[in-house]
Chains A and B, each alone.
Chain A
Amino acid sequence: MEVEAWESSSDGTADSEVDLQDIEDDEHLCMSGSIPKLQFRKDVSKARWDVEMGMAEVIEKKGGMWTTTGIVRRSKVYCSIEETLFLAERGALILFDINDMVLSLKDMYEMVAEGRSGCSWDSFEAYRHLKSLGYIIGRHGVNWSVKNDKICSSSTCIGGTEESSRISSTEMKEDFSITNHLGDMQINEKPAFDVYLPNSKFRKSSPGEPNFMVYLTRDNPPSKAEIESLERSCKGVPLKFCHVEHGRGYKNLHPVRTMRSPPRRLRHPGLTDRS
């Protein structure tokens, strides 16, 4: 120890050599003044919350975000709680309950707290951070759209409507079970989100392979065995570990910590810089 220290201190990099001018990474909190508010939107969409599904059915679409928000089932668009709350926080969506009463942000925050819609506060923060940077995010394993959907619901489908609604409700149930499953497990054995890079050509009908998957960690970093098992389940899609840290100032908010997956699997090396 002593020998090492003698050597290291002779290289001129003593701890006291600090350029204080460079240290600008403290929190930049304002002591007074108002908190910035997001601008009101002109285009406000509407959706109705379905308690049983744990999703919102979009009843009026306004604005361009719908190409990358919500899943399509039988020509209808359904939003998860994180998508719903994200838009509601931005004033881009009004959410109604089944009796057409407006649900407030408080109602939605409580829905997240109750944890019945497969989304924890941590996963919402992860979603919000990436979404506000333009990434395209879906729940892991939930398809953006279903292929047979359109054919069955179209008028050319003989003897169709009843049959197709039965099929689609079964199919929809499978989706819920995935989301409920996620909720019960605290998103611990599967990635939470499939993420695509910002892309104006994104189509729900052919999203392609996600660019990476996001896995939410809890108290401690994952063990070697956990990483290996997760990597196997990701089938070659890069995996990023997200550790949501609470209590940072809002201006320097970096809740997403990413950990590189082994380079050989990394298809988009540039991505690892974003943390």
Chain B
Amino acid sequence: MGPRWKGKNSEAIALADPMSKITARLQSSLIQSETEGFLSGCVVLLSVEPEQIDLLNRACFGRPIITTDKDKQWFQISLEEAFYLCHSLKCLKILDENKCAKNGNELWECMKSKKKTFPEFYVAYSNLKKKNWVVRSGSQYGVDFVAYRHHPSLVHSEYAVLVRSECDGDYDKNFRLRVWSDFQCTVRLCGSVAKTLLVLNINTNGCNEVSLSHLDHCSVEERTITRWSPEQCREDLTLVKGGISYI
């Protein structure tokens, strides 16, 4: 299944303005204005300059909070987005409840305490972000993330993403795809909304858990899962590379 662009010129618009460049512009703008955000529950709140409103929208980070305030625009971003901006792009400072800037390890532990699946989700999220996918919540489709080739106003999301971790034996905090009924349910739903199910397996390669100091040791195995229908594939010899098909 290829990308499904919205409208005639969308592909050309996307090609002319690649996501990598938009993200780089956002990064340098946030660095220049020394942007700070603060943690509130499971989100990070930040107020930004007018030019950054546009860049955050274009790069598709977080969502704006709609108020009557004319001077400031507030955004709320997810823990994964916040950690990515802070740790990977190094363009956002994050303050704790006492207005102190948190260093990488403190922030990692703090986010982990707020969301148990944060380490694995972050590895999955940053893996896709580094490849310039736009990554948003998958809650509408019962998955962890959805991945867009470019901005959601130009293209439908192509992948419904589930995060699985195999660390520490067979323990997986996300409890997904353990039984066939869950496979059937997820693949059926993804099919009906024209998305491919992408499972990201997070391998810690010997470590007990995903930790910030060992992020580089983690590897991400990508697999697409599709249903193979014998009736319709009698002349089709192509099998998706890296994919798993089930009958």
Contact = CB atoms under 8 A, between A and B. Distances in A.
Interface of A: 1-2, 5-6, 9-10, 14-16, 18, 20, 23, 25-32, 34-41, 89-91, 105-106, 109-110, 112-115, 120-122, 219, 244-250, 252-253
Given A29-B151, A114-B97, A115-B97, A1 B180 contact: yes
Interface in B128-177: 136-137, 139-140, 151-154, 156-157
B247 A121 contact: no
Interface string B59-72: 01011111111101
Contacts of A112: 40-41
Contact of A246 (B42, B116, B154): B42
B53 A35 contact: yes
B58 A32 contact: yes
Dominant secondary structure of chain B at its interface with chain A: mixed
Given A9-B231, A15-B227, A30 B57 contact: yes
Nearest to A18: B194
Interface residues of B, number: 60
Contact of B229 (A9, A20, A39): A9
Contact of A39 (B68, B152, B230): B68
Interface string B89-121: 000000001010000000000000001110000
B220 interface: no
Given A5-B247, A37-B66, 8 more contacts: A15-B226, A18-B193, A32-B57, A89-B68, A109-B74, A120-B41, A245-B139, A246-B42
Contact of B193 (A23, A35, A249, A250): A23
Find the residue from A90, A105, A250 having the highest chain B CB count within 10 A.
Answer: A105
Contacts of B57: 29-32, 35
B218 interface: no
Contacts of B154: 31
A37 B41 CA distance: 25
Contacts, number: 146
B27 interface: no
Nearest to B62: A247
A26 B231 CA distance: 31
Contacts of A18: 191-194
A37 B76 contact: no
A43 to B, nearest CB: 13
B188 interface: yes
Given A15-B227, A105-B67, A247-B81, A35 B41 contact: no
Contact of B64 (A5, A23, A25, A35): A35
Contacts of B63: 247-250, 253
A241 to B, nearest CB: 14
Nearest to A106: B47
Contact of A113 (B45, B58, B193): B45
A10 B42 CA distance: 46
A23 B193 CA distance: 6
20 contacts: A15-B191, A15-B227, A26-B152, A27-B136, A27-B152, A34-B53, A35-B66, A37-B67, A37-B68, A40-B68, A89-B65, A91-B68, A113-B41, A121-B41, A219-B117, A246-B43, A246-B79, A246-B137, A247-B78, A247-B81
Contacts of A31: 57-58, 151, 153-154
A5 B74 CA distance: 50
Contacts of A2: 247
